[in-house]
Structures are given as structure tokens and as C-alpha cells.
Structure 1
Amino acid sequence: MNQIANGTPAGQLPALTWRKSRRSNPSGNCVELAELPGGAGIAVRNSRDPEGPALIYTPDEITAFILGARDGDFDHLVS
């Protein structure tokens, strides 16, 4: 698979299984993540714009983010 660039429209990505947090609210204010084929990375999209641009992260980048969130590194961003 060719490398997928940040900003690629999510609708142009291969068929992916998108997931969002169980903490998402009904108004659609959430992001969705999907694993790219072959472990090529993780795609992130805005659930309100499912055909819009996707951000692409490496597995290591997502791991660092999730572990940082678990440790409270971003708690100051939550009201």
C-alpha cells in the first residue's frame, strides 16, 4: 500500500472500520479512529465530516498519545 498523506479525504481511504469513544455525545462532537491496512498507521476523522480530511498517525504516535491521555498529560484541556 502506498503511504497515505495527512489530509487525504476520509472517503478516499480504503474501506475502514471507524470507531469512536463510548464517551462521545449524541450531538456528534467526536472523532473517529480506524486502523489502516497492513499496520500502515491510524486514521483520525471528524465524525461530523466523515468524508472530510483524515489525519494519519503512526502506531507509535497513537501509542504515545493514548498513554499520555491515560497519565493525565492533557487534563488541562478538559473543562
Structure 2
Amino acid sequence: MLKTYNGMPAAELHGARWHKSRRSNSQGNCVEVAELPGGSVAMRNSRFPEGPALIYSRPEIEALILGAKDGDFDHLIAPN
């Protein structure tokens, strides 16, 4: 089994099924996520799919998603 670590090349995550948000724009400004064996979640920059992947635990991803749903990060969105 491959040992995963933050910053490892995303290309080394063989078999990862990468998904991106439906809100991704046509310029490719988005991230992609993949569930890994054991429940961890990898995240990569879609413009650099061979580049580094950040590896998060399931509780970390849950905190991020729930915080985003609650508006905790709305200050990072440019005003329309």
C-alpha cells in the first residue's frame, strides 16, 4: 500500500478518481478531490494535475465542507 503524505505528486495516487465541482469555470480555476483507500481525501489543482496533492483526514474535510455551508469562508469570495 502506498504511503500518502501532504505534497506528494498527485500522479502517484494511482487509481484515484478525481472529481471537480460543477461550479468550476471554463478557465480551469478549480480544485479536484479524490477519496483514497482508508477514507482520506486528496485535493489537487486542476490546472496542474501532476503537481502536489494535499491529503486530508475525513474529519478535516467534514469541517471544511460544513464551514463553507455555514458561510465561514464567505469573506474569501469576491463581491459580485
TM-score in terms of structure 2 length: 0.93
User: Cα RMSD over matched residues?
Assistant: 0.9
Measure, in 1, the Cα distance between the counterparts of 2:10 and 2:2: 15
Aligned residues: 78
What's the offset of the Cα at 1:38? Answer: 2.7
SS in 1 for 2:8: coil
Q: Which amino acid aligns with 2:65?
A: I
Provide the residue aligned with 2:59 in structure 1: 60
TM-score in terms of structure 1 length: 0.94
Measure, in 1, the Cα distance between the counterparts of 2:45 and 2:13: 14
**Cα deviations by residue, 1:4-48 (Å, 9 ceiling, x for unpaired):** 110000001121110000000011000000000132x00000000
Indicate the structure with greater strand content: 2
Q: Which amino acid aligns with 2:10?
A: A
What's the offset of the Cα at 1:60? Answer: 0.3
In the TM superposition, structure 1's runs of 4+ consecutive aligned residues that sit over 3 Å from their partners are: none
Q: List runs of 5+ in structure 2 lacking aligned partners.
A: none
Identical residues among aligned pairs (%) = 65
SS in 2 for 1:56: strand
Q: List runs of 5+ in structure 1 lacking aligned partners.
A: none
Provide the residue aligned with 1:77 in structure 2: 76
